Each structure stands twice: as C-alpha cells, then as structure tokens.
Structure 1
C-alpha cells in the first residue's frame, strides 16, 4: 500500500471527515520520480469544532506519527470545521452546467 492511501485510510478512520483530499506534492520537490515524501492534506471534520488550529494539527500528527517518522518529509495541513469550509469555499465550488436536454434537440 502506498503512503497516500495509508494517510487517507488513517484520517478517514480517526476523523470521519466530511471532506478529505490527500495530495502527493513530492513531484514539486527535488526527489526521485515516484517519491511519496511531501503531502498536502485538506480535511473537514466535526472533530475540529471548538479546537484551535494547533490542536487540530497535533491530532493529525499523532494519527500519522509512524508515517511522519518513517516516510513523510513534509506535511501541509489545511484543517476546517464544516462551517469554516462552507464559509470559505461554498461560493467557490464550480457548478455543473445546466442540462440543455440534449435528447430533445
């Protein structure tokens, strides 16, 4: 199993996120092709309600302790409550185009 999948599975299990993106950004760094050493995590969870940013990050670091000590060189964390996520991104999500009834033409 690759590191990105391990990260995803552990975070899904620990935080039951409403939204989760695990992005391997290793290709943007001076590492061998196919490396899994630099990641960005975007996670939206009810677990973060009332928690300061540092506590959210510490909780994720604890869940990923093994990966951080053995595999991950850099981990960018973007942690949101459901309300924060909606406030920041609800209006920025592109809408699908309206159906023009292609079969009716």
Structure 2
C-alpha cells in the first residue's frame, strides 16, 4: 500500500469527520515512513487526549503498520480557533 499524506488526510476527514487536517511527511527523504499530523474534529469534543489518539490510531490501523513514526496533535474546532488566535 502506498501511503501518502493525501491518503491519510482523506481517511481522517472521512472516518473521523475532521474539519481540518494537516499532514507532513517528516521522513528525511520524504519516503512516507514518518508523519506529523494535526487533526481538528468535532468528534474530539469532551474526549480526553488518550481517547482522541486511540480514535486516530484505530482509523489508521492498517497504515500505522507501514509507518515508522507518527506524531499527532488532536484538537476540537474550539481549541483550534483559540490556538490560531494566539
């Protein structure tokens, strides 16, 4: 399976209802082995950080078998707006 930033973005948008997703391939030669992801979803509302990360990990279970490093930041739309306002 070819894992791309676009594939990850599309899957998170569809399956977690993300309203904003940023995916960066952080592999030294952009070989899709390492990703940094920012996910903004109303489905994270009222959920602790660990539960949010489990939602993302569950969504990307197949992809995470191929990825060596995965850094994620999960925010609600309200948290995202506050962060952008700073």
Q: What TM-score does the superposition give when structure 2 sets the normalisation length?
A: 0.89
In structure 2, the partner of 1:56 is: 52
Bigger shift: residues 44-53 or 4-13: 4-13
Determine if the alignment matches structure 1 residue 73 to structure 2 residue 68. yes
1:77–1:34 distance in 2 versus 1, CA, 3 Å: closer
More strand by share: 2
After the TM superposition, list the runs of 4 or more consecutive aligned residues in structure 1 that deviate by more than 3 angstroms.
none
Which structure 1 residue ranges, 5 or more long, are not aligned? 28-32, 92-105
- 3-state SS in 1 of match to 2:50: helix
Kindly report the root-mean-square deviation, in angstroms, between the aligned alpha carbons of the 2 structures. Answer: 1.3
Which structure 2 residue ranges, 5 or more long, are not aligned? none
